[in-house]
C-alpha cells in the first residue's frame, strides 16, 4: 500500500508518468528532444537515440540537468541490430519500456518530382520514416504484450493525410505510416496496448523540408511534445487514436 500511496502522491504533484520508461527515437534534437523533456517532466525515465553523438550527449546532459533519469545511445533506426541493442540497453538500465515514441524521420532527398528522384533517395526516406517504425515497434511490442499494457505514439505528418507537388516520396512514407499505425492499433488493443498517431503540420525545426518557414505561422517542437504528453497521460480506459495539429495562423 505504501508504494501505491507514494505513486498517488507523486501524481498529485503533476508526475502522472512516474515509474514509467519512455523510449524516444530521434531524441537528440528538435521534436524528439522536446518530447523527451516533456515526458521526463511528467516523471518518466527516458531513453533517447540519435546518430549524432555530440548532439545526443548534449540532449542527455540537458535532460539530466532537469532531474531526469536518462539513457542516451547512438543508434541508426534503419538498422535492426542498432535498434535491438538500444531497446535492450534501455530496459537493462531504466526498466521495462511503457511508452514508445517513434519520432525519427527525414525529408532528406524526398522532395521533388518523382521522375527526378533516385532509388537511393526513395530508400533513405522510406527506411527512416516507415521501416524504422516497424523495426522499433517489433522490438518493443513483445514486452508490452507480456505486461498487458503500453503506449506506442507515432509521429507522422499532415503530409500523411494530404498531397502536394513535389511530395511524392515523403507523402508516400507518411501515408504508409498512417496505415501501419491504424493496423497496429487494431492488432494490439486486445493486449491493452494503445497505439496513437500525431500528425503535425509544418514545425519550426532544422528538419530538411520544402524551404524557409515563417516562425509565426508554424508549430513549435513544444507544441508536438504537448500533444504527446496529452496522449501518454490520458485515462486508462480510452485511447486517442489520432491527433491532427495546425498552427493558429494559416501559412
d(CA 201, CA 214): 13
Active site residues: 170
Residue 250's CB: how many other CB atoms inside 10 A? 7
d(CA 193, CA 50): 25
CA 112 vs CA 117, 118, 121, 123, 171: distances in Å: 7, 11, 11, 15, 11
Q: Grid coordinates standing for 193? A: 496496448
CA 156 vs CA 8, 59, 189: distances in Å: 33, 22, 20
Angle among Cα 141, 30, 78 to the nearest 5 degrees reads 45
Amino acid at each position: 500500500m505504501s508504494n501505491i500511496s507514494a505513486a498517488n502522491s507523486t501524481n498529485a504533484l503533476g508526475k502522472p508518468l512516474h515509474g514509467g520508461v519512455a523510449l524516444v527515437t530521434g531524441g537528440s534534437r528538435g521534436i524528439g528532444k522536446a518530447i523527451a523533456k516533456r515526458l521526463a517532466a511528467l516523471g518518466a525515465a527516458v531513453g533517447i537515440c540519435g546518430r549524432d553523438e555530440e548532439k545526443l550527449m548534449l540532449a542527455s546532459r540537458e535532460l539530466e540537468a532537469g532531474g531526469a533519469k536518462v539513457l542516451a545511445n547512438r543508434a541508426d533506426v534503419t538498422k535492426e541490430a542498432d535498434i535491438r541493442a538500444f531497446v535492450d540497453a534501455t530496459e537493462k538500465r531504466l526498466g521495462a519500456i511503457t511508452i514508445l515514441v517513434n519520432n525519427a524521420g527525414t525529408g532528406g532527398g524526398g522532395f521533388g518530382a518523382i521522375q527526378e528522384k533516385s532509388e537511393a533517395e526513395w530508400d533513405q526516406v522510406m527506411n527512416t520514416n516507415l521501416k524504422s517504425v516497424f523495426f522499433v515497434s517489433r522490438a518493443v511490442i513483445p514486452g508490452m504484450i507480456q505486461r498487458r499494457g503500453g503506449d506506442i505514439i507515432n509521429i507522422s505528418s499532415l503530409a500523411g493525410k494530404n498531397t502536394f507537388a513535389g511530395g511524392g516520396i515523403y507523402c508516400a512514407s507518411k501515408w504508409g505510416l498512417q496505415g501501419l499505425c491504424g493496423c497496429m492499433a487494431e492488432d494490439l488493443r486486445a493486449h491493452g496496448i494503445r497505439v496513437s498517431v500525431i500528425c503535425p503540420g509544418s514545425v519550426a525545426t532544422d528538419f530538411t523540408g520544402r524551404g524557409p518557414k515563417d516562425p509565426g505561422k508554424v508549430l513549435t517542437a513544444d507544441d508536438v511534445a504537448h500533444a504527446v504528453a496529452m496522449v501518454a497521460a490520458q485515462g486508462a480506459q480510452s485511447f486517442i487514436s489520432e491527433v491532427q495539429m495546425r498552427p493558429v495562423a494559416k501559412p
